Amino acid sequence: MKKILAFAMAAAMTLSLAACGGGSGADSSNKGGASNPPVVSGSQGGTSAGASDPAGFTTVEPGKLHMSTNAEFPPYEMLDDSGVPIGIDVEVAGAIAQKLGLELVVDDMGFDAALLAVQNGQSDIAMAGITVSEDRLAKMDFTDSYATGVQVVIVKEGSDITMDNLGEKMIGTQMGTTGYIYASDTVENGGYGEDHVIGYETGAVAVQALISGQVDAVIIDNLPAQSYVEANAAAGLTILEGTWVEEDYAIGLQKGNTDLMAAVNGALNELKADGTFQGIVDKYITAD
């Protein structure tokens, strides 16, 4: 598993070097902004291939930045009470769009679909707490990393499950996530075998399966894990001590979309440098 992280970091560094020469085409007048709500669209726009921007990149729909996501991953992306996508990824994407002079459009769909949408050129960026992995790098490009994800194990309080006997248990995951991919891998490859893993539509459904006893544990990224444990306080869930695997999150783009990659990376790095990025993270993650 460590190999995967090292590879991801090397890839991210390569990308950041490649991005150095690229301007963001940005106006830097919106520091601390990112408060305008995203536009939600159920349909994929863009019948045309989009117009070439003065900044040198092209988007699916002129003037818009389409972000495909799966808003089932708090605090990175989730729906608010009125069904509007919010979260760290949504706001960071909004700030990137603003810097590029574009309007963010959030396309919410299944996790696998969100990855496919960007690969197929139906969205400009995929942002969904997406782990950079070797397999995914074969199908899409990634920006510099913007967060570290740690996969953890949720169990019921008082259970006899440890990191070491997980292989004897039933594990719930969200379908298509690295939690599913790694856990369902063969024992030789560090997984537990497909027979021990169930992939659910969302992490929340996997957690419900844990509560109802369909599975013994859920493997999921640490921040959603904390959020689900808190949201189900009455069910008495807890996160096992220790890290199952550590990963890098990055924004996915269609392979070879180098102009937009340079622009998005430029904007992302400006947001990191001017504190906007951290401000967004702090809004959603309260230190304890």
Residue ranges that bind ligand ARG, judged by CB under 6 A: 70, 72-73, 77, 111, 128-131, 149, 174, 177-178, 221
Dist CA 285 CA 271 (whole Å): 17
CB of 27 to ligand ARG, least distance (A): 30
Per the structure block, which two tokens stand in for 281?
């993270």
- Cβ at position 17, least distance to ligand ARG in Å: 24
Distance of CA 84 to the CA centre of its chain: 17
> What HEC string does 135-166 produce?
HHHCCEEEEEEEEEEEEEEEEECCCCCCCCCH
- Which strands sit side by side in the sheet containing 85-86, from one edge to the other? 72-73, 77-79, 85-86
Q: How far is the CB of 202 from ligand ARG (least distance, A)?
A: 7
Cβ nearer to ligand ARG, comparing 24 with 133: 133
Residues 6+ apart with CB under 8 A from 27: 99, 101
Question: How far is Cα 249 from Cα 54, in angstroms, rounded to an integer?
Answer: 29
CA-closest candidate to residue 259, choices 146, 141, 145, 147: 141
Q: Which is nearer to ligand ARG, 26 or 113 (CB)?
A: 113
Closer CB to ligand ARG, 111 or 192, in the complex: 111
| Closest distance of CB 68 from ligand ARG, Å | 10
Least distance to ligand ARG, CB of residue 167, Å? 21
Min dist CB 78 to ligand ARG, Å, is 9
CB-nearer residue toward ligand ARG: 50 or 252? 252
Nearer to ligand ARG among residue 155 and residue 250 (C-beta): 250
55 vs 109, which CB is nearer to ligand ARG? 109
> In this complex, which beta carbon is closest to ligand ARG, that of residue 166 or of residue 223?
223
d(CA 83, CA 204): 16
Relative to beta strand 140-156, strand 245-254 is antiparallel
Q: How far apart are CA 163 and CA 28, in angstroms?
A: 47
Q: Which is nearer to ligand ARG, 57 or 182 (CB)?
A: 182
Minimum CB separation from ligand ARG for residue 249, in Å? 6
98 sits in which H/E element: helix 88-99
Q: How does DSSP classify residue 74? A: T
| Contact in structure between 110 and 122 (CB atoms under 8 Å) | no
112-131 core/surface letters (b: 16 or more CB in 10 A; e: else) = ebbbbbbbebbbbbbbbbbb
Q: How far is the CB of 61 from ligand ARG (least distance, A)?
A: 22
